Amino acid sequence: MTTTVIAHRGASGYRPEHSRSAYELAIELGADAIEPDLVPTKDGVLVLRHENEISGTTDVAAHPEFADRRTTKTVEGSRLTGWFTEDFTWDELRTFRTRERLPELRPGSAAHDGEDTILRLEDLLTLLDDAPRPVGLVAEVKHATYFEQAGLPMASLVGDALAATGWRGDDRLTVESFEKTVLRELGSRGVGGRLVYLQEARGSAADEIAVHGSTAPTFADERTDVALRALAEQFSGISVDLRTLMAGVDAVALDDPRPVRSDVVERAHAAGLQVFTWTLRPENRFLPAPLRRGGEVAGLGDWERWFTSVIRTGVDGVFADHTDLAVRARALVAGRSTETTA
């Protein structure tokens, strides 16, 4: 089995996330698939932003004509102040430029602030259609229950956009969400591709909370053997955070070619589900403490040991900010496995 390398918001370790240059660079660096996050505008256009609050990833604050749009909202229990995509039309949003979300950590990416505009889903699909080789799409549907309550039904918007661009039923397509309801609705609309249920380490899904309140099942409840088998009847896979994937796993030596045992991978595979994980990042800030090197959080630690250990769990796909590093780690694992069996 070959682990799929998915460019997390494009090559977001090198360029501002969800920018055209981040997507183009990810393809150049060898990504098997691109992951965009989908949020809507006031007029129902799907744009590519990690969150609907965009003050940290665009130059919206530099537009005095929109100063009065700054507001405070509660999104899935979090109180946020800023500017929100659903308060702008597409014609307004397209005037904003992208910015690096973590400029102190990634100054090289921040050097490209202002070079690109916000993109729509259809812009990325055109880019993928024009790519020099087949590149998949792993689209995350954000905050479906929240947007449904705001009169912006995400299943309809996503289904219609995929149909209009010829991507409905495309073999390159995967759709994921932290909410099962919107995935089921997309399935009933015949969007095709693979449907993947995202799971946090803790807490409960927003659609479950909307129905069950404090008695909503937790994500952990949905990782029991019985729950995984039930999920396999509806979806192609689950996607879990690295902490969940690597729970109980010690740091493994890079030159050790043996598989790494991950409880969730083994049980999900046994239930008939694929497993994906997020997000591989090489900076010390994101690595387990034993793998950090030097005193700078922005410095690179022993990412090779971490990345290869994750891949050796047999996980079906990894999300990575630095596409080239994940591709290299996969090659290292494959090379060492070949040496062992030769």
Note if 50 is an active site residue: yes
For the purposes of burial, counting CB atoms within 10 Å of the CB of 134, is it exposed (0-12), middle (13-18) or buried (19 or more)? exposed
Q: Which residue has the tokens 């299943």?
A: 155
Segment holding 270, helix H or strand E: helix 263-271
Angstrom distance (rounded) from CA 192 to CA 72: 37
Contacts of residue 130, Cβ cutoff 8 Å, sequence gap at least 6: none
Check if the beta carbon of residue 29 is closer than 8 Å to that of residue 133.
Answer: no
HSE-up (13 A, CA, CB side) for residue 158: 36
Whether residue 8 lies in the annotated active site: yes
Q: What is the CA radius of gyration of the chain?
A: 20
Task: Please identify which of the residues 8, 143, 269, 322 carries the catalytic annotation.
Answer: 8
Furthest CA-CA distance within the chain: 66
Residues serving a catalytic function are: 8, 50
